[in-house]
């Protein structure tokens, strides 16, 4: 199949949205666009499987290349492997759910949906790009709509949050750009092409400078400690769909970049800095978890827990074993689905109770059984219940991390394991306080989820269950991609202490 459809379809949807006359039309057009994306993602998944079954073992499938700026060796070079397909699936799930939960947006509906769809285009473009310049281009496309989504449709101190988010992410992308240029100019063939670069040997000195630039740059997106503070503020101010996109898609751009760009083209750098990465990620995991315990606002709880969960992504990458990298991809997808669902539920609760303070809620299970059940499921997924995706991802990362026999990594793994208790503490405190206990008087007349909210929740739950109950297909999908990355890392002997 032609994977540029993944970019063209959202683009077309966005244009059609701009032509629409009223809010209802806008909504249905976006819904149709999102559904088509969803279908397209599945078509991609199945044709990917089919290709692989037919024995196509090339690294990237469905490759396409159009020259764009030949003198600089920049081209539209697209292609997917298992990791990108996984991320595309995630994006499609989150987009359709995001469109569904925003059904009640009344303020500037057209612009809102336009930005949502534009953001999804950026994400798809990012995940299928094999040219680093184009990849960077789509990364930027995915940032700007977020700024507007928070700044216009947000709540609370939205201007502050929007600025903070945009500036920190822009700072991150600036680092990425500098790193990319460094790689570009130091490689023996000046090229932005990922595949070309991966076959070259980037000089060690360049790697030592550019790897941290790229890794930290992408790390900002995925809430690398200590550049994570945009996460709580950004998420808490964003509208529901904004938070979902932010946590479900944008944070994954960073993780994907760390893995696909930084680690893949500069494996020596990755090995050299592995211990620092692990240290930062363990700090993020525990620190995020403990900080979450003290939060009172639901969105802050989920945002800080995202910091903790995204720490696992970084940990998996930092451990540099095949299993841990697979786990890291799983964690990205799992966290994307789960946290999108969590924000969706928070949005549903907030729309009804008009508060996000955990202490002000109670007994909602009685009035809103569906929403509370979803809250339970997402909470349990977050704390790693088997059968839901979080468990699979975390366990894979742990198993991968444990393959290193040295004490430092062992201790890091054990500390990361301990975080699952802390996670259980804060999740249960929040979830039980909200949905259990005596029902407060002011909530006597609340209503349960509407059709669009139910549909959104069910779609995301289906994704969570698909990974949680049957992880083998996901493992098969991702593992060749991880294998290729490992082939570059394994022969290197420097940096292991």
Partner 1 sequence: MPNVTYIALIPLLPLAAFLILGIFGRKYFKNTSGIIATALLLISTLLAVYTAYGYFFEYGKVDGIYQKLIPLKYTWLQFSEGVSIDMGIIIDPISVMMLVVVTFISLMVHIYSLGYMKGDDRFPTYYAFLGLFTFSMLGLIISSNIFQIYIFWELVGVSSFLLIGYYYDKPSAVAACKKAFIVTRFADVGFLIGILILSFYSNTLDFNKLIERLTTPESNELKNAVAASFLGISALTWGLVLVFIGGAGKSAMFPLHIWLPDAMEGPTPVSALIHAATMVVAGVFLVARLFPVFSISSPNALSLVGYVGAISALIAAVIACTQTDIKRVLAYSTMSQIGYMMFALGVSKYGGEDGLGYTASMFHLFTHAIFKALLFLGAGAVIHYIHSNEMKDMGGLRKYLPITHITFLIACLAISGVPPFAGFFSKEEILLAAYQNNKTIYWVALITSGLTSFYMFRLYFSIFWGRTRPSSFKRDCDEVKGEGGFVMMLPLVLLAFGAATAGFIPFGHFISSDRITLENKFHLMFSISPVALGLTGIIIAMWMYKKENNKPEKFAAMSSGLYKAAYHKFYIDEIYIFITQKIIFNLIARPTAWFDKNIVDGMINATGEGTKEISEKIKTFQSGKIQQYAICFLVGLISLALLFIYVWK
Q: How far is the CB of 482 from partner 1 (least distance, A)?
A: 11
Listed ranges 37-45, 142-150, 245-253, 430-438: which one lies at the site for partner 1 (CB under 8 A): 430-438
Listed ranges 113-121, 250-258, 344-352, 423-431: which one lies at the site for partner 1 (CB under 8 A): 423-431
Q: How far is the CB of 250 from partner 1 (least distance, A)?
A: 18
Q: Is 176 in the site for partner 1 (CB under 8 A)?
A: no
Q: How far is the CB of 2 from partner 1 (least distance, A)?
A: 32
Q: How far is the CB of 300 from partner 1 (least distance, A)?
A: 10
Q: Is 314 in the site for partner 1 (CB under 8 A)?
A: no
Q: How far is the CB of 215 from partner 1 (least distance, A)?
A: 19
Listed ranges 87-95, 130-138, 246-254, 390-398: which one lies at the site for partner 1 (CB under 8 A): 390-398
Q: Is 421 in the site for partner 1 (CB under 8 A)?
A: yes
Q: Taking CB under 8 A as the criterion, which residues in 38-57 touch partner 1?
A: none
Q: Which of 16, 428, 446, 492 touches partner 1 (CB under 8 A)?
A: 428
Q: Which of 172, 234, 239, 471 touches partner 1 (CB under 8 A)?
A: 471
Q: Is 403 in the site for partner 1 (CB under 8 A)?
A: yes
Q: Taking CB under 8 A as the criterion, which residues in 473-492 touch partner 1?
A: 475, 479
Q: Is 458 in the site for partner 1 (CB under 8 A)?
A: no
Q: How far is the CB of 451 from partner 1 (least distance, A)?
A: 16
Q: Which of 64, 68, 108, 164 touches partner 1 (CB under 8 A)?
A: 164
SS3 string of the chain?
Answer: CCCCHHHHHHHHHHHHHHHCCCHHHHHHHHHHHHHHHHHHHHHHHHHHHHHHHCCCCCCCEEEEEEEEEHHHCEEEEEEECHHHHHHHHHHHHHHHHHHHHHHHCCCCHHHHHHHHHHHHHHHHHHHHECEHHHHHHHHHHHHHHHHHHHHHHCCCCHHHHHHHHHHHHHHHHHHHHHHHHHHHHHCCCCCCEHHHHHHCCCCHHHHHHHHHHHHHHHHHHCCCCCCCCHHHHHHHHCCHHHHHHHHHHHHHHHHHHHHHHHHHHCHHHHHHHHHHHHHHHHHHHHHHHHHHHCCCEHHHHHHHHHHHHHHHHHHHHHHCCHHHHHHHHHHHHHHHHHHHHHHHHHHHHHHHHCCCEHHHCCCHHHHCHHHHHHHHHHHHHHCCCCCCHHHHHHHHHHHHHCCCCCHHHHHHHHHHHHHHHHHHHHHHHHHHHHHCCCCCHHHCCCCCCCHHHHHHHHHHHHHHHHHHHCHHHHHHHHHHHHHHHHHHHCCCCCCCC
Q: Is 400 in the site for partner 1 (CB under 8 A)?
A: yes
Listed ranges 13-21, 120-128, 149-157, 465-473: which one lies at the site for partner 1 (CB under 8 A): 465-473
Q: Which of 200, 399, 455, 492 touches partner 1 (CB under 8 A)?
A: 399
Provide the binding-site residues for partner 1, judged by CB under 8 A.
Answer: 163-164, 167-168, 225-230, 287, 290-291, 293-295, 321-323, 363, 365-366, 369, 380, 383-387, 391-392, 395-396, 398-400, 402-403, 405, 413-414, 417-418, 420-421, 424-425, 428-429, 432, 435-439, 470-472, 475, 479
């Amino acid at each position: 199949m032609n994977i540029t459809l993944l970019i063209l379809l959202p683009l077309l949807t966005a244009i059609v949205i701009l032509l629409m006359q009223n809010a209802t039309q806008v909504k249905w057009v976006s819904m149709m666009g999102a559904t088509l994306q969803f279908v397209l993602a599945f078509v991609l998944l199945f044709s990917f499987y089919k290709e692989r079954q037919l024995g196509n073992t090339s690294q990237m499938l469905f490759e396409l290349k159009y020259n764009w700026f030949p003198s600089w060796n920049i081209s539209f070079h697209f292609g997917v492997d298992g990791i990108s397909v996984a991320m595309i699936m995630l994006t499609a799930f989150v987009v359709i759910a995001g469109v569904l939960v925003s059904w009640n947006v009344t303020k500037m509906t057209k612009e809102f949906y336009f930005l949502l769809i534009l953001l999804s285009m950026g994400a798809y473009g990012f995940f299928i790009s094999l040219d680093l310049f184009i990849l960077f281009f789509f990364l930027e496309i995915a940032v700007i709509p977020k700024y507007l989504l928070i700044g216009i449709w947000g709540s609370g101190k939205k201007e502050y949050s929007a600025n903070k988010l945009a500036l920190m992410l822009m700072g991150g992308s600036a680092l990425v750009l500098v790193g990319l240029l460094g790689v570009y100019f130091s490689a023996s063939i000046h090229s932005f092409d990922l595949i070309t670069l991966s076959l070259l040997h980037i000089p060690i000195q360049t790697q030592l400078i550019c790897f941290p630039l790229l890794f930290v740059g992408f790390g900002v997106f995925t809430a690398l400690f200590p550049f994570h503070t945009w996460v709580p503020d950004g998420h808490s101010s964003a509208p529901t769909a904004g938070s979902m996109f932010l946590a479900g898609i944008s944070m994954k751009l960073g993780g994907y970049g760390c893995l696909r760009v930084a680690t893949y083209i500069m494996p020596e750098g990755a090995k050299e800095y592995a211990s620092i990465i692990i240290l930062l990620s363990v700090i993020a995991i525990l620190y995020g978890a403990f900080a979450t315990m003290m939060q009172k606002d639901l969105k802050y709880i989920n945002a800080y827990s995202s910091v903790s969960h995204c720490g696992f992504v970084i940990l998996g990458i930092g451990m540099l074993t095949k299993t841990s990298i697979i786990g890291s991809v799983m964690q990205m997808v799992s966290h994307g689905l789960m946290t999108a669902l969590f924000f969706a539920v928070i949005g549903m609760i907030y729309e009804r109770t008009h508060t996000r303070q955990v202490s002000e809620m109670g007994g909602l299970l009685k009035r809103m059984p569906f929403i509370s059940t979803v809250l339970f499921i997402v909470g349990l997924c977050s704390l790693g219940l088997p059968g839901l995706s979080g468990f699979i991802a975390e366990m894979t990362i742990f198993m991968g991390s444990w393959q290193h026999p040295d004490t430092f990594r062992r201790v890091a793994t054990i500390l990361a394991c301990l975080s699952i208790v802390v996670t259980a503490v804060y999740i249960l405190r929040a979830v039980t306080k909200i949905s259990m206990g005596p029902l407060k008087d002011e909530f006597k007349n609340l209503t349960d989820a509407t059709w669009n909210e139910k549909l959104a929740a069910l779609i995301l739950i289906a994704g969570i269950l698909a990974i949680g109950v049957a992880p083998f297909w996901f493992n098969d999908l991702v593992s060749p991609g991880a294998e290729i990355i490992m082939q570059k890392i394994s022969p290197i002997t420097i940096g292991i202490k």
